[in-house]
Structure 1
Amino acid sequence: MYIPASYRETDRAVLLDFLAAHPLGVLVSTTSGGDRGLYATHLPLHVDRERGVLQGHLARANPHVGHLESLAAGERVLVVFNGVDAYITPSWYPAKQEHGKVVPTWNFSAVHVHGAVTLHHDPAFLAAHLRHLTDAHESAQPKPWAVDDAPAEFITQQMRAIVGLEIAIDVLEGKFKMSQNRSHADIDGVITGLGESGAAPGVVAEMIARKPAR
């Protein structure tokens, strides 16, 4: 991923926090067979910080399972995580009034993970993974649902239809493009414009947090 220095985030804790806050990733790998290409699957992933891995699962019927099984030893996959984003109109820049040499852009945040993948068919792995994933996302619910709320035989049947996976977090790339390359006046103009539009409060908060020191 192309990351200008002003947009680069290298703090591992910050990047892992991002993965936990934006768990829906896009898993990308090469395809198997004679016609080599790329295959992508959108899936929620759980971050195991202690072991430095991402855990998830795929439908057994997903052709991606076969593509992953065919990867050469050590061949890495890519997982793309997207955060907040917003269109930025140059009308918000004071520079537009000063010299007019401005163009539209897009502010966004994204983290890429590179690493080798391991597939798991073991029911014990799948059961533990599903509990971790479920508990993480049900914790904010007024009445959290738990895996054990469903009949055991039903959960066993559901697990037969999925394949677990772990991705070793080898490389973490973080890009937080939040107008850091603009003047303080232009950054303030964008913050005001987005705030008044009410369209992207997450981008506003990120811009304020990442505003360069004078």
Structure 2
Amino acid sequence: MKAKQTPLEQMGGTTGLVYMALPIVAFVLANASLGLMAAICTAVGVGVAISVLRLVRKEPIQPALSGLFGVAVAAFVAWKTGSAKGFFLTGIWSNVALCAVFLLSLIVRRPLAGIVWGALNGTGTSWLKDKPSRRYYDIATLALTLVFAARVAVQQWLYDEDHTGWLAVAKIAMGYPLLALAFLVVLWAARRSGKRLKEMGQRQPAASS
């Protein structure tokens, strides 16, 4: 029987963390020594190299392509703004959008953490009919909302203060590691809800017999 993956493994493991960090570190170092245009080319070049490496090693290509696309968009924004800190704008904007969407799902009583989990695992949305289960996923959705809000608060402040180097540190530190902590809350909610629904399913046949 295959062992269950840890949250870090679900998100690409230690290698995934390194792949995410390399283009950011390369951009900051190149910008400090060679200027903005060299930094943009370096970051995109590192992103392409990582994608090729993953292809050669026969690792899943989708994460590599997604990462390359993200680096390319960030580099384009930096080029358009003419500022190194612009490289981090798309990350801030995406976290604003995610925070708003997850918060809205809480307000309308459709916690997105549970809906996404059900879609990914094929368990559906039967938990919506069970108030305790919905409360578990409310907590998980709130945890994710706080992660996105924290990213926006910290990174926007660093952006406004022109701390490009610290922006890179914050983006890496508040990326997968922080998301992995929130994912633990999602796993907790899924297990609690799954246990409740299983017990309810066992009680219903007994009650009808």
Bucket of the pairwise TM-score, normalised by the shorter protein: under 0.3
What is the TM-score when the length of structure 1 is the normalising length?
Answer: 0.25
What is the TM-score when the length of structure 2 is the normalising length?
Answer: 0.26
Structure of greater relative contact order (alpha carbons < 8 Å, 6+ residues apart): 1
